[in-house]
Amino acid sequence: MSVSDLRLFEMRRPADLPDVCAVLAERVSRSEPTVLLAGGTDWLVEQETRPAFAKEAALPLVLDVSRLPALRGITLDGDRLRIGAAATYLDMRRDPAVLARAPMLERMGRDIGAIQIQARGTLGGNLATASPAADGVTALAAYDATLVVHSVRGERRIPFASLQTAYKRSTRAADEVIVAVEIDLPPAGSPWIWRKVGTRRAQSISKVALAGVAVREGDRLTRLGLGMASVAPVTALLSRVRTLATSRPLRDLTAADIDAAVDADVSPIDDIRSTRDYRAHCARSVVRAFLRDLGAPV
Amino acid sequence: MKISFKVNGAARELDAPPLQRLLDALRLVLGLTGTKEGCAEGECGACTVLLDGEPVNACLVPVGQCQGREITTVEGLGAAGHLSPLQRCFIDHGGAQCGICTPGVLISAEHLLRRNPDPDDDAIREALAGNLCRCTGYQRIIESVRAAAVLRRADARDVGDPRDVGDARGARDVSHDRQEAP
Ligand SMILES: Cc1cc2nc3c(=O)[nH]c(=O)nc-3n(C[C@H](O)[C@H](O)[C@H](O)COP(=O)(O)OP(=O)(O)OC[C@H]3O[C@@H](n4cnc5c(N)ncnc54)[C@H](O)[C@@H]3O)c2cc1C
Ligand code: FES
Ligand code: FES
């Protein structure tokens, strides 16, 4: 595939969400390839690196969803934050509700590529590409976000915990459009962490990244959400760490227990960006650092 | 697909394949070769242009998504004979060597200075983090942007809205001790 082949693709700009759902349903039922294009920062790069389409293969139809009003916008309703799937990272970084109530999302957004990528990239694209290194997905995992998807069958809500099934696989059906993500926010001022370990701050894919949000009452955590990138085939939810850290007073947590829980929750590999051992080391130390900030004597 | 949009303030209409890269539409169709291609995958920033005022990599924007939108390329900042203060500072402070990265760097810096007239070095570094340069070592680039910020603030005090300064139609060469080569 080369850049010049891009001119072969057909693109449509659907009028509204029902229109997208209808076209998508019809094409999926006929096994015709279809691409929902948002910021293009994943899809266009993939086109340049993939092998050429076979001569007889049908080229995907591209549906531009980047400016559909139903997929845009960021709204706060009480303690529930809704972010449109086609809102960009830059939209998020500038949104007063995000800044006031979900500062971890703003911090995460700052680490996505560089400003040119933040001005185009979206959570919808990040979720659909579903890389285990995806930063947006990692932050959403920590917030235990809910995906709102639409199809000709109507709306469906997918809690994060039942989204991912295997490497780049999810419970979202092929004809379901990601419309928004919703987050039940912790109280304003709650502690959080965003820590991306990479070769440089901009334009780097993480060796390990940790997203965390917590609610603390006295010496106990009443809510702990964690997401970790690049340590498993899917974004890791660190469920053993969550259970451990909310099961006892913070002062009773030990480094050995935390490390054991992290080790059981992750399954890192050697690859071009890092090694299994270094990733495991980073995973343990960033989790301990967060719990230490929260008051654990580790 | 018929696409109408504004490029550097002028209305343009194209009949182009919708997935053609904005980069190619600018360079090959509209003849605006100021915008450069480096990596073709969003990493280097040589192709940075403003899309509705925000910096984007033109190598990753399909022109079909530009219907009704406004593009600013380096040609829109100023041209030979009436360079913007920002462009002038890159010459005066050694911010450009081979020049391949420069159009993209200028666009990213222009965006920064429009939003933040008095950026500290961290803000400059963050704004330019998506623009790779193989020649300058970056320090001169940062100094150029810092100098441009000072000039623009002085200019804003003297002549009004700083946003007009970087616009070709209102651009003035405020560095008086140099002449453009013909
Ligand atoms: C230089 C560079 C740096 C990057 N840095 C980072 C980084 O630091 N961290 C990171 O996580 N990612 C990074 N990325 C990857 C990418 O920018 C993100 O994954 C981004 O969120 C993708 O969003 P998009 O809107 O551009 O997706 P697109 O490319 O438009 O789409 C990607 C996929 O998602 C599907 N899709 C899009 N929207 C929807 C929807 N609403 N419903 C269903 N499917 C949909 C598309 O069909 C396509 O298959 C980087 C990319 C580049 C080129
Ligand atoms: S050519 Fe577009 S970012 Fe490098
Ligand atoms: S001046 Fe040569 S790449 Fe920057």
Render pLDDT for B43-74 as a digit per residue (tens, 0 to 9): 999 999 999 999 999 999 999 999 999 999 99
| Helix locations, chain A, DSSP H | 17-29, 43-49, 89-94, 96-101, 103-110, 115-118, 123-129, 135-142, 239-247, 255-265, 276-294
CATH number assigned to the domain comprising residue A177: 3.30.465.10
Q: What is the pLDDT of residue A37?
A: 98
Question: What pLDDT shows up at residue B141?
Answer: 98
Q: Mutate which of A42, A61, A120 to test ligand 1's pocket (most atoms within 8 Å of Cβ)?
A: A42
Q: Which ligand is nearest to the CA of B133?
A: 3
Interface touch A114/B111, C-beta < 8 Å: no
Q: Is the CB of B99 under 6 A from ligand 2?
A: no
Confidence band, pLDDT 50/70/90 cuts, at residue A202: confident
| pLDDT number for residue B172 | 37
- The three-state secondary structure class of A36 is strand
Residue of A nearest to B125 (CA): A202
What does the pLDDT look like over A3-26, one tens digit per residue?
778 888 999 999 999 999 999 999
Nearest to A294 by CA among A262, A253, A263, A260: A253
Lowest mean pLDDT among A99-103, A246-250, B79-83: B79-83
Say what the pLDDT of residue B124 is: 98
Q: What is the pLDDT of residue B161?
A: 53
B2 to chain A, closest Cα gap in Å:
12
Q: Are residues A171 and A197 in the same domain?
A: no
What is the C-alpha separation between B5 and A33, in angstroms, rounded?
29
Say if residue A47 is in the same domain as residue A92: no
Q: Do A77 and A168 belong to one domain?
A: yes
Q: Check CB contact under 8 Å for B17 and A8.
A: yes
Measured in angstroms, how far is the CA atom of residue B104 from the centroid of ligand 3? 10
- What percentage of chain A reaches a pLDDT higher than 70? 99
**Residue A66 DSSP symbol:** T
Interatomic CA distance for residues B34 and A161, integer angstroms = 48
Look at chain A and report how many structural domains it folds into. Answer: 3
For the Cβ of A61 lying below 6 angstroms from any atom of ligand 1, the answer is no
| Residue whose C-alpha is closest to residue A145's, from A96, A73, A85 | A85
Q: Choose among A62, A110, A120: nearest Cβ to B60.
A: A120
For B2-76, CATH number?
Answer: 3.10.20.30
User: A145 CA to chain B: closest CA distance, Å?
Assistant: 28
pLDDT, residue B155, reads 85
pLDDT in tens, A134-184: 999 999 999 999 999 999 999 999 999 999 999 999 999 999 999 999 999
B62's tokens = 């399909």
Task: Answer yes or no: do B40 and A115 touch at CB < 8 A.
Answer: no
- Picking from B40, B60, B57, B41, the residue whose alpha carbon sits closest to that of residue B49 is B57
pLDDT at A44 over 70: yes
Does residue A199 surpass a pLDDT of 90? no
CA distances from residue A20 to A69, A70, A175 in whole angstroms, order as listed: 12, 11, 10
Extract the tokens encoding A242: 């969550």
Write the CATH number of the domain with boundaries B85-157: 1.10.150.120
Distance CA A28, CA A25 (A): 5
Q: Are A83 and A159 contained in the same domain?
A: yes
Instruction: Please tell me whether residues A96 and A125 are part of one structural domain.
Output: yes
Which atom of ligand 2 has the smallest separation from the CA of B37? 1
Mutate to test the pocket of ligand 2, among B39, B105, B108 (most ligand atoms within 8 A of CB): B39
**What is the sign, positive or negative, of the torsion defined by CA atoms of A204, A205, A208, A213?**
positive
Residues A210 and A110 in one domain: no
Q: Find out whether the beta carbon of B136 lies less than 6 Å from any atom of ligand 3.
A: yes
Q: For the purposes of burial, counting CB atoms within 10 Å of the CB of A278, is it exposed (0-12), middle (13-18) or buried (19 or more)? A: middle
CATH code of the domain in which A231 resides: 3.30.390.50
Residues A204 and A288 in one domain: yes
- Give the span between the Cα atoms of B42 and B22, in whole angstroms: 13
Whether the CA torsion A201, A204, A210, A215 is positive or negative: it is positive
Give per-residue pLDDT as tens, A225-242.
999 999 999 999 999 999
How far apart are alpha carbons A269 and B161 in whole angstroms? 54
Distance B49 CA to ligand 3 centre (A): 17
Please check whether residue A121 touches B, CB under 8 A: no
Alpha-carbon distance A41 to nearest alpha carbon in chain B (angstroms): 6
Tell me what the pLDDT averaged over chain A comes to. 95
Neighbours of A49 (CB within 10 A): 8
Find chain A residues with C-beta within 8 A of B35's C-beta. Answer: none
- Is the minimum distance from the CB of B128 to ligand 3 under 6 angstroms? no
pLDDT in tens, chain B (182 residues): 999 999 999 999 999 999 999 999 999 999 999 999 999 999 999 999 999 999 999 999 999 999 999 999 999 999 888 999 999 999 999 999 999 999 999 999 999 999 999 999 999 999 999 999 999 999 999 999 999 999 999 988 887 654 444 443 333 333 333 334 43
Rounded to a whole number, what is the largest CA-CA distance in chain B? Answer: 48
- Taking CB atoms and an 8 Å limit, are A202 and B129 in contact across chains? yes
Helix, coil or strand: residue A158: strand
Helix A239-247 to helix A255-265 angle (10° resolution) is 150
- Residue range of the domain that includes A257: 192-294
B chain contacts of residue A63, beta-carbon cutoff 8 Å: none
Shared domain check, A284 and A214: yes
| Number of the ligand 2 atom closest to the C-alpha atom of B59 | 2
Q: Tell me the nearest-neighbour CA distance from B52 into chain A, angstroms.
A: 10
Would you call A44 an interface residue with chain B, using a CB distance cutoff of 8 Å?
Answer: yes
Q: Of all atoms in ligand 3, which is nearest to the CA of residue B46? A: 3
Residue of A72, A88, A115 to mutate when probing chain B, most B C-beta within 10 A: A115
Cα pseudo-dihedral A209, A136, A35, B23, rounded to 10: -90
Same domain membership, residue A180 and residue A78 = yes
Whole-Å CA distances, A149 to A23, A38, A129, A171, B103: 15, 15, 15, 11, 40
Pick the residue from chain B with its C-alpha nearest to A201.
B129
Please enumerate in sequence order all residues whose Cβ is within 8 A of that of A57, keeping only pairs 6 or more positions apart, or say none.
none
Of the given ranges (A61-70, A176-185, A265-274, B12-21), which has the lowest mean pLDDT?
A: A265-274
Ligand 2 proximity of B45 Cβ (cutoff 6 Å): yes
Both A149 and A84 in a single domain? yes
pLDDT at B22: 98
Average pLDDT over chain B reads 89
Task: Say if the ipTM goes beyond 0.90.
Answer: yes
Choose one of A148, A167, A184: the last residue of a domain.
A184
- The model's pTM: 0.93
Q: With contact defined as beta carbons under 8 Å apart, do B128 and B141 qualify? A: yes
Ligand with minimal distance to B100 CA: 3
Cβ atoms B52, B70 nearer than 8 A = yes
CATH 3.10.20.30 in chain B, residue ranges: 2-76
Are A58 and A93 within one domain?
no
